């Protein structure tokens, strides 16, 4: 945890994201279009980026599942006021089936 003291009246606390979690939709049978949700702790609130099999995915906390077997990686990042950044990732492999 990084603590910055600006003056004797104010203490700002900042912490890198830890405990990054991917929440799965109801299953265990998943279909294309179901949504994964990424969350983490840390302060200030993290921003999220996804990759699917190494290719860029969503830039929000959610990612739609694609048909077939894929590796989904969510990265939670926090940028501090001084310009430094820290991040953590979580990976999940999911097999999904067609909606039809």
pLDDT bin (cut points 50, 70, 90) of residue 4 is very low
For range 67-80, the mean pLDDT: 96
Give the residue from 51, 47, 58, 41 showing the smallest Cα distance to 92. 51
Is domain 17-90 given the CATH code 2.40.128 in the classification?
Answer: no
Give the full edge-to-edge strand order of the sheet including 35-39: 21-23, 35-39, 62-64
For range 40-45, the mean pLDDT: 90
**Mean of the per-residue pLDDT values of the chain:** 87
For range 56-76, the mean pLDDT: 97
For range 37-52, the mean pLDDT: 94
**pLDDT for the residue 31:** 94
pLDDT bin (cut points 50, 70, 90) of residue 14 is confident
Check residues 29 and 35 and name the one with the higher pLDDT: 35
Strand residues in 18-64 grouped as ranges (E): 21-23, 30-31, 35-39, 47-52, 55-56, 62-64
Q: Is the pLDDT of residue 1 over 80?
A: no
Residue that the structure tokens 């995915």 belong to: 57
């Amino acid at each position: 945890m990084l603590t910055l003291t600006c003056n004797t009246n104010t203490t700002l606390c900042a912490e890198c994201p830890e405990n990054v979690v991917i929440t799965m939709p109801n299953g265990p049978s998943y279909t294309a279009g179901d949504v994964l949700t990424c969350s983490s702790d840390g302060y200030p609130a993290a921003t999220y980026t996804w990759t699917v099999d190494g290719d860029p995915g969503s830039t929000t906390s959610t990612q739609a599942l694609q048909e077939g077997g894929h590796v989904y990686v969510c990265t939670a990042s926090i940028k501090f006021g001084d310009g430094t950044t820290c991040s953590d990732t979580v990976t999940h492999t999911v097999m999904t089936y067609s909606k039809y």
